[in-house]
Amino acid sequence: MRLADFISRDMERILAQWEAFAATLLPAAENLGSLALRNHAQQILQAVAKDLQTSQTREVQREKSMGQAPEPMEATETAAETHAVLRAQAGFNINQLAAEYRALRASVLRLWMDDCAPEAPDLDDMMRFNEAIDQALAESVSFFSGHVEQSRNLFFGMLGHDMRSPLQAIQVTASYLSALKASEKVSDAAARLIRSGARMQALLDDLSDFSRTRLGLGINVTRTNINLADIVTDELDELRAVHSDRQIDFHVSGDSQGVWDAKRLQQLLQNLVLNAIKYGGQDTPVRVEVTGYSTRVCIDVRNRGPAIEPATLGCMFNPLARGPDHQSKSDKGESLGLGLYIANEIAKAHHGSIEARSNERETCFSVSLPRE
């Protein structure tokens, strides 16, 4: 008997084995009934049987075996994709999801081969079945991973949002205690709370921006006509006050007027300068340059220190990435490794870009921003 006909005839027997195996995937399957355990299994098998009965070229079969079959025109999701989302919502992990397909593959082939005996099973059917299962598995894994990532980013976004109110209460209380001038000990304690609150606020801001970009919302910008040199000057004054032991030089040339989000560009500059302070030579200055051209303005942040390897340069703007030593001695867990990623996202939100260059003489992060 051809495999497609066997699947249609023995659907219930195959589904019973699917259900029995799914019930062993604990703890997610512990409280699931028969219908939930069989979730979309029948539709997946029907799609496989239909695939086996469809004439296909060798190229199409090869693409399926790599999980690259074209999406069906009649549905927004395949049965395998819907199955993956429901399994993720039920608490299954990706290893358990893949195990279901391994068990299904073995179960169907074993039952079919027993049914074919003593005759040999059709080898082309066997190959086509494996290709169809590989395609279904690829669809499930892709949708499962996407659902998990979206849920994680939503959680981070909600966490950052919900922590803002208690943090603001701490900061306001600390400022009130500082203003009382009750005693030197109280003032010192209030100052520590204010500094810690500011660091926590920066972490929450990074977390919020990261969540927005990963959810496809992008960095939110509000553009006004500003002088970039003035914005940079203000930000560098604050950074010099915090890092009084480091020399930060600033040079401007050309027209630095444009339409940008001032606060976002201060955030971008802060991330780049702090990165230069952390990973540059501690006894060398950080140099910031603003250069105006006809249609764009550039910000260059330069520092001296060991050259960054080309492989590291290529992933500097990836989220959760660190510098060449992953974490500098001055980084005491006060960042999430999102600074350069967010700086890059801010540049893109302004239709600009950031380029990183490094050699034995210096490392330079160059930001290009269109004026309009």
pLDDT along the chain (372 residues), means of 10: 92 94 92 91 92 84 70 70 90 92 93 89 89 90 86 71 74 81 78 79 76 72 93 92 90 95 92 90 92 95 89 80 49 63 91 92 94 84
Main-chain phi, psi angles of 32, to 5 degrees: -90, 140
Reported as half-sphere exposure (CB side, CA atoms, 13 A), residue 328 has a value of 18
Minimal CA–CA distance to 280: which of 365, 160, 342, 219? Answer: 365
**Distance of CA 276 to CAs 78, 177, 309, 318, 354, Å?**
48, 35, 16, 17, 15
- pLDDT of 329 reads 45
- pLDDT of 286 reads 95
Strand partners, 292: 297
Name the packing angle between helices 123-180 and 41-52 (round to 10°).
Answer: 140
- pLDDT of 38 reads 92
- pLDDT of 324 reads 47
- pLDDT of 241 reads 83
